[in-house]
């Protein structure tokens, strides 16, 4: 038995719907109990670079003599186990390091306060701090989200671009103009040939486009195109959610987005209302390939319709 996914509250910590045996696996994945207990799956991306997959967004850890560099902090309830995993992967016991948030959503920043306490300095786009320090509205539930505690706010803000030389690699942090939200950053590791796209990419899963935070289908397609023009066939690309992929998978994601955009645009041009376009099931040809895990398909079509 299922209930509408937008009722799920994966962007919000503290009042997430409770898991019951009736819930589907996807529902359980965002329950508080799952956030607090999910196994952290670790895979090695490069000599000193690891992917930590858990209940929240994909976390990347770079280790080395210069100190840890962490991308995203997952949910608050997952943070203690992320910290345990970091301690296990770090050769010399090192307190803290640098934490970069890909964007403000709480499945990527919920652990910020815990990481701050552990000695991490938090870097993010200027608007991530704005959004974490003020009340927000969840795109999935349309409920209000209270500000995060001040310890969770980024200390160092990026407007456009930042280069970090650390642990033998060159890390390029770039602002992604409004697409998934208006707070997105991409982070690339030059030597390791690894790119973290944050939630600009959901691999094998229908995306969330946070229209309330400035996201749009046009922006998402445009920014994915820019990434496709920059990456090579060998670049390991980390999505915000889903498995590691590469240019081929990202190209398929782009084809899905443009396919849906074109269908919705054609119907809208004919004068159909948002409800009528949703009823036409413009995602149908992709439904067997892409999972409806976070945003309901109908809600996604509504965003596409409104943000063309
Ligand atoms: Zn996310
Ligand atoms: Zn997100």
Q: CA–CA separation, 140 vs 294, rounded Å?
A: 8
CATH code for the part of the protein at 5-307: 3.60.15.10
Residue 93 pLDDT grade (very low, low, confident, very high; cuts 50, 70, 90): low
Exposed, middle or buried, 34 (CB in 10 Å: 0-12/13-18/19+)? buried
Q: Identify the nearest ligand to the CA of 293 by its number.
A: 1
Sheet holding 68-71, edge to edge: 41-46, 49-53, 59-62, 68-71, 97-100, 120-125, 156-158
Q: Identify the nearest ligand to the CA of 181 by its number.
A: 2
Q: Where are the domains of the chain?
A: 5-307
Residues near ion ligand 2 (Cβ under 5 Å): 105, 199
**Predicted confidence (pLDDT) per residue in 216-230, tens digit:** 999 999 999 999 999
Residue 191 pLDDT grade (very low, low, confident, very high; cuts 50, 70, 90): very high
**Average pLDDT estimate for 198-205:** 98
In whole numbers, what is the pLDDT of the chain averaged over residues?
Answer: 90
Q: Identify the nearest ligand to the CA of 214 by its number.
A: 2
Other Cβ atoms closer than 10 A to 38: 21
> Cα of 248 to ligand 2 centre, how many Å?
22
Q: Identify the nearest ligand to the CA of 184 by its number.
A: 2
**Predicted confidence (pLDDT) per residue in 102-112, tens digit:** 999 999 999 99
**Average pLDDT estimate for 206-223:** 98
Q: Identify the nearest ligand to the CA of 210 by its number.
A: 2
Q: CA–CA separation, 120 vs 70, rounded Å?
A: 9
Is residue 134's pLDDT more than 60?
yes
The strand pairing partners of 158, in sequence order, are 125
pLDDT number for residue 55? 87
Global pTM reads: 0.90
Is residue 3's pLDDT more than 90?
no
> Cα of 102 to ligand 2 centre, how many Å?
8
> Cα of 307 to ligand 1 centre, how many Å?
20
> Cα of 209 to ligand 2 centre, how many Å?
8
> Cα of 108 to ligand 2 centre, how many Å?
7
**Predicted confidence (pLDDT) per residue in 71-82, tens digit:** 999 999 999 999
pLDDT number for residue 92? 66
């Amino acid at each position: 038995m299922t209930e509408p996914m937008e009722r799920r509250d994966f962007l919000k910590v503290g009042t997430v719907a409770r898991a019951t045996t009736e819930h589907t696996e996807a529902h359980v994945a965002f329950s508080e109990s799952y956030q607090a207990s999910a196994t952290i799956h670790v895979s090695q991306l490069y000599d000193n670079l690891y992917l930590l997959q858990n209940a929240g967004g994909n976390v990347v850890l770079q280790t080395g003599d210069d100190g840890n560099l962490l991308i995203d902090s997952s949910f608050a309830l997952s943070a203690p186990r992320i910290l345990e995993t970091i301690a296990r992967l770090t050769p010399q016991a090192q307190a803290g390091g640098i934490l970069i948030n890909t964007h403000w959503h709480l499945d990527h920043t919920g652990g910020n306060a815990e990481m701050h306490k552990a000695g991490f300095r938090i870097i993010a786009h200027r608007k991530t701090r704005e959004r974490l320090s003020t009340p927000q509205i969840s795109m999935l539930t349309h409920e209000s989200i209270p500000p995060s505690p001040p310890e969770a706010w980024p200390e160092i803000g990026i407007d456009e671009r930042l280069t970090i030389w650390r642990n033998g690699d060159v890390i390029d942090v770039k602002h992604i103009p409004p697409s998934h939200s208006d707070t997105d950053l991409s982070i690339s590791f030059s030597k390791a040939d690894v790119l973290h796209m944050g939630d600009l990419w959901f691999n094998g899963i229908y995306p969330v486009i946070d229209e309330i935070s400035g996201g749009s289908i046009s922006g998402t397609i445009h920014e994915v195109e820019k990434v496709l023009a920059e990456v090579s066939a060998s670049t390991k690309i980390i999505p915000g959610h889903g498995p590691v992929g590469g240019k081929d998978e990202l190209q398929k994601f782009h084809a899905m987005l443009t396919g849906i955009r074109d269908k919705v645009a054609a119907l809208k041009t004919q004068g159909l209302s948002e409800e009528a376009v949703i009823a036409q099931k413009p995602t149908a040809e992709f439904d067997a390939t892409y999972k409806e895990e976070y945003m309901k398909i109908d809600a996604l079509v509504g965003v596409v319709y409104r943000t063309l």
